[in-house]
């Protein structure tokens, strides 16, 4: 029998905000690691590599756009010309599966400007398992503030740490959400004569644990940035969905075989609030778009493709003017709507084979593909599931496997029906 998906959940999803004019105010240095270690802030605080770290794909699958540190004595050295006197913000992306049971000073040094012994300095370490620890030093000891959860799950996470003299508070944001805060009275740092190491300890690299994982988009500010600015750094300034049609995914090269057009619908209860057409990029799987402000709406997104099952997001509340949703990094339906197409990195795709677009992949779709395969149909055809320009046995193999899974999608208001039932039961 066919599987019908009943879904309800409410989350705050990955949303974007428009660019903040002052986001670069107080920016001392910025490293995008796009094939080099140059400072992109315009302040010329260029870094250098030590023991050959390598450039890897970033969170958008762009090659040579993040730096990977192996933990085997390789790190990035940033110059002592970076001056941060009292207030500080450091924003960066990190991805790792490494674990270190030790806290600061014995954990993995992530971004470090630590003076040997107890002094007015700062450090960011990963330790106590997979927690990010924001350390601020005094003349009497080190003040450690760890995240409340482990972040070594193999996914990209955005981390921002801030220290403000206005309210004497240090904060750690994880994926834009304030995770921990602690009282700490800042004073002028005494470490501005030292370099900053990414992936190693300044106080004797070989005597401490090196970081293992990928790091990207490090920003240093000489002020405490706001929650709104943290949001802007996390989300960027472009609305998009990331999505993969199963048949077009080339797992050998981690790209799509061709670009594809999609239609995006924004649903509220029984109504479609808006719709827009977009094109999926073959490398980043991003389909950017422009849509009217949906702030204040409780809604879900539907993405329609020409020969794949529609993708339906979970429900989310829109708290920013623009919207971003990623269907590729997680499967919130546990295999009922998306299928895993890659393990390294983990990627999910929409089931291909719904040729007649009736929200199910069944014998009717298989018959259409088989008929075109027998006739060797070429060109832009809805039955060409893998996008190679010819309908053949490889396309039939895709639809045949998915027919066996007997998958169909729910009507669009079911997520909200489930939500109403949940609310009424409370």
Q: Phi and psi dihedrals of 337, rounded to 5?
A: -125, -30
List all residues 6 or more positions away from 302 whose beta carbon is below 8 Å from its beta carbon: 264, 265, 267, 310, 311, 312, 313, 412
Whose tokens are 């989300």? That residue is 235
pLDDT at residue 317 in the model: 87
Could you tell me which CATH class the domain 20-234 is placed in? mainly beta
Q: From residue 370, how far is each of 137, 393, 395, 398 by CA, in Å?
A: 69, 8, 9, 11
In whole angstroms, what is the distance from residue 233 CA to residue 242 CA? 18
Amino acid 362: pLDDT: 95
Parts of the chain belonging to CATH 2.60.120.200: 20-234
* Per-residue model confidence (pLDDT) at position 1: 36
All CATH 2.60.40 domain ranges of the chain, comma separated, are 10-14+237-351+407-425
pTM: 0.84
Q: What is the pLDDT of residue 410?
A: 62
Mean pLDDT for back-to-back runs of 10 residues, the chain (426 residues): 37 39 90 98 97 95 95 96 96 96 87 86 94 90 92 95 96 96 92 95 87 98 95 88 97 93 91 95 96 90 93 86 87 81 89 94 96 95 96 96 84 48 43
pLDDT computed for residue 131 by the predictor: 96
Query: What is the CATH architecture of 10-14+237-351+407-425?
Result: Sandwich (2.60)
pLDDT of 17 reads: 35
């Amino acid at each position: 029998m066919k599987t019908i998906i009943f879904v309800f959940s409410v989350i705050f999803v990955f949303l974007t905000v428009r660019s903040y004019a002052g986001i670069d105010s107080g920016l001392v240095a910025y490293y995008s690691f796009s094939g080099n270690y140059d400072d992109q802030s315009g302040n010329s605080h260029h870094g250098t590599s030590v023991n050959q770290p390598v450039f890897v794909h970033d969170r958008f699958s762009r090659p040579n756009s993040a730096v990977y540190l192996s933990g085997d004595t390789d790190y990035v050295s940033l110059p002592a010309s970076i001056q941060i006197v009292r207030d500080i913000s450091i924003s960066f992306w990190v991805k790792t599966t490494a674990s270190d049971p030790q806290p600061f000073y014995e954990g993995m040094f992530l971004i470090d400007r630590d003076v040997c012994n107890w002094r007015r300095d700062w450090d960011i370490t990963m330790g106590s398992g997979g927690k990010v620890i924001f350390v601020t030093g005094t003349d009497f000891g080190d003040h450690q503030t760890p995240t409340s959860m482990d972040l070594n799950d193999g996914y990209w996470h955005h981390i921002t740490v801030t220290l403000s003299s206005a309210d004497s508070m240090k904060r750690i944001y994880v994926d834009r959400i304030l995770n921990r805060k602690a009282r700490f009275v800042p004073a002028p740092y005494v470490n501005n004569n030292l370099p900053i190491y990414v992936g190693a300890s300044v106080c004797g690299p070989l005597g401490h644990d090196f970081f293992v994982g990928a790091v990207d988009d490090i920003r240093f500010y000489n002020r405490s940035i706001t929650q709104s600015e943290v949001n802007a750094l996390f989300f960027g300034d472009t609305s998009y969905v990331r999505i993969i049609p199963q048949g077009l995914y080339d797992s050998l090269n981690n790209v799509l075989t061709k670009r594809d057009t999609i239609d995006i619908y924004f649903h509220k209860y029984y109504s479609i609030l808006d719709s827009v057409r977009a094109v999926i990029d073959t490398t980043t799987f991003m389909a950017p778009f422009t849509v009217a402000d949906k702030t204040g709406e409780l809604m879900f997104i539907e993405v329609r493709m020409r020969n794949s099952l529609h993708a339906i997001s979970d429900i989310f509340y829109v708290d920013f003017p623009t919207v971003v949703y990623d269907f590729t990094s997680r499967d919130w339906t546990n295999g009922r709507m998306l299928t895993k197409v890659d393990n390294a990195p983990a990627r999910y795709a929409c089931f291909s084979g719904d040729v007649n677009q009736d929200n199910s992949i069944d014998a009717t779709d298989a018959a259409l593909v088989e008929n075109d395969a027998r006739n060797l149909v070429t060109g832009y055809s809805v039955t060409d599931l893998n996008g190679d320009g010819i309908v053949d046995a490889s396309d039939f193999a895709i639809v045949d496997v998915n027919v066996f899974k007997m998958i169909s999608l729910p009507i669009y208001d079911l997520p909200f029906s489930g939500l109403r039932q949940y609310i009424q039961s409370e």
